[in-house]
Structure 1
């Protein structure tokens, strides 16, 4: 079996990892004593200064890997008029991540497209353009609109990703209409695969409720042991095809991501090495 890494999305809100009094600026260093990979979400909301990435490089061990989500204007999350100069935004984003690239810590770029990004000729061409602009980096594609995996398009979608050298993201998420995708067990890049666990909160996915922050509700879910067991043979098959499999838990609205990630690591028999030294508890 090839290499399997498990981590979670972000590192700031996983309070069960941090002892009382851990400063925000120390959280990544502590996180990196538990997991070998992490997803960077803050890059989705703004093109970050290089100094952020330089700090993160210093705070993590040599073999640590970052999965970075590009700025939201590059994945179509900003409804309305498209940015007038998207190529300039791509240039700025690419420039910002160079500290990770130079340190060998950029695991991949995660292009997660929005629920309204459906399977059309225009969107296919845009994915090709993203791959061409970011051809120097591993690039993963996550769909949120079901049309990409309808029977008439499923194989063509996977063929597209394979042809352009993109990584297909396998998702575990609620089956709640067009704005979600089924589990599609397929590897489109022999070097890497990415699996993301979003939880199975069907009602919260469809309707977070009036006055509720949709992120707080959508990802409020704890996987049972039985649900994780379902994934063990899938991961084994994926790892037989891809040299490296990265697994991320995103079900953190209730603080469940870390617990499920560690549980899944034990089930897979994974004990990562090369982490930051673990802090000693006072008692």
Structure 2
């Protein structure tokens, strides 16, 4: 099965029903897509009440890809609110456990920063982190090219296989050491993740500072030829893996929803069990 979704549900105006309230955005979103990447969990461990609210607002079959808290993967900006590492991991696990219990946790996404390169110290850290989160399915996303260097790529993939970790395949700008190539290989038979970051090389290399860096980095609109290329990668993944999760993260200019819908149309994908609030806002556009 191929599932398609977007990063977050709060910034995709094309999928909201006319007159929808801010609090209804997830309900509207789940009328269009069967999965979502929960990225607010990267910036703060979410209160359990939020998680339970999101469980209630989504259909029974809806799935969340939960992005791991930044302090766990070496991205920490500002002061860490947790006194100990144990406290941080315990709080995160407790926060998302209701999703697993409800059958709505597709995986935890551990996205490592561009400076997390392929060396023994980092491999050891990876083992330590995944051991702490072993109750969950985990996807690993690297951002340093050394993990896929000649002679190292297969070792990286074998490490993921041996540890029953999901490979986060990426489509992103090819911009030196701080980016990785598209490697459409699954390391588990049941699940694989493909995240589409766009191909804005200039924005990737020069994202700027402050709150607007995401707006620059992920400003991209996939064209027909590129979506065909991505479709071939998804087909290769689906030939070896039961469930392929495809997340469009190129939303700086509001392109993610439209690109995801176009991708669905090109591949004849239709999803059952969506929210009954389905509004055919995209009908006739593709």
Structure 2 Cα separation of the partners of residues 94 and 269 of structure 1: 37
In structure 1, what is the equivalent of residue 44 of structure 2? 46
| Cα distance change, pair 211–130 in 1 and its aligned pair in 2 (3 A) | closer
Deviations 1:72-113 (A, max 9, x none): 000110269997621221111000112211111001000000
Bigger mean CA offset, 77-86 vs 210-219: 77-86
Structure 2 Cα separation of the partners of residues 87 and 160 of structure 1: 25
User: How far is the alpha carbon of 1:278 from its aligned partner?
Assistant: 2.7
Deviations 1:55-76 (A, max 9, x none): 0000000000000011100011
* TM-score for both structures, normalised by structure 1: 0.94
| Cα distance change, pair 164–18 in 1 and its aligned pair in 2 (3 A) | same
Structure 2 Cα separation of the partners of residues 141 and 133 of structure 1: 14
| Cα distance change, pair 234–211 in 1 and its aligned pair in 2 (3 A) | closer
Structure 2 Cα separation of the partners of residues 17 and 118 of structure 1: 38
Structure 2 residue corresponding to 1:75, chosen from 60, 73, 76: 73
Deviations 1:212-265 (A, max 9, x none): 711001000000011010122221111111110000000000000000001101
Matches within 5 A, 1:107-186: 107-186=106-185
| Cα distance change, pair 152–256 in 1 and its aligned pair in 2 (3 A) | same
In structure 1, what is the equivalent of residue 23 of structure 2? 25
Deviations 1:12-62 (A, max 9, x none): 000111134211110001100000000000000111110001000000000
Aligned length, in residue pairs: 280
Determine helix, strand or coil for the equivalent of 1:223. coil
Determine helix, strand or coil for the equivalent of 2:178. coil
Bigger mean CA offset, 67-76 vs 227-236: 227-236
Structure 2 Cα separation of the partners of residues 271 and 224 of structure 1: 21
In structure 2, what is the equivalent of residue 254 of structure 1? 253
Structure 1 Cα separation of the partners of residues 241 and 204 of structure 2: 30
In structure 2, what is the equivalent of residue 94 of structure 1? 93
| Cα distance change, pair 80–20 in 1 and its aligned pair in 2 (3 A) | closer
Bigger mean CA offset, 217-226 vs 73-82: 73-82
Determine helix, strand or coil for the equivalent of 1:160. helix
Structure 2 residue corresponding to 1:61, chosen from 29, 51, 59: 59
* TM-score for both structures, normalised by structure 2: 0.93
Unaligned runs of 5+ in 1: none
Structure 2 Cα separation of the partners of residues 207 and 146 of structure 1: 18
Contact 2:221-2:259 within 8 A present in 1 as well:
yes
| Cα distance change, pair 9–79 in 1 and its aligned pair in 2 (3 A) | closer
Determine helix, strand or coil for the equivalent of 1:241. coil
In structure 2, what is the equivalent of residue 244 of structure 1? 243
Give the RMSD, CA atoms, in angstroms.
1.9
Unaligned runs of 5+ in 2: 281-286
Determine helix, strand or coil for the equivalent of 1:34. coil
| Cα distance change, pair 201–127 in 1 and its aligned pair in 2 (3 A) | same
In structure 1, what is the equivalent of residue 187 of structure 2? 188
| Cα distance change, pair 24–166 in 1 and its aligned pair in 2 (3 A) | same
In structure 2, what is the equivalent of residue 5 of structure 1? 3
Contact 2:27-2:277 within 8 A present in 1 as well:
no
User: How far is the alpha carbon of 1:152 from its aligned partner?
Assistant: 2.6
Q: Which runs of 4+ in 1 moved over 3 A?
A: 79-84, 209-212
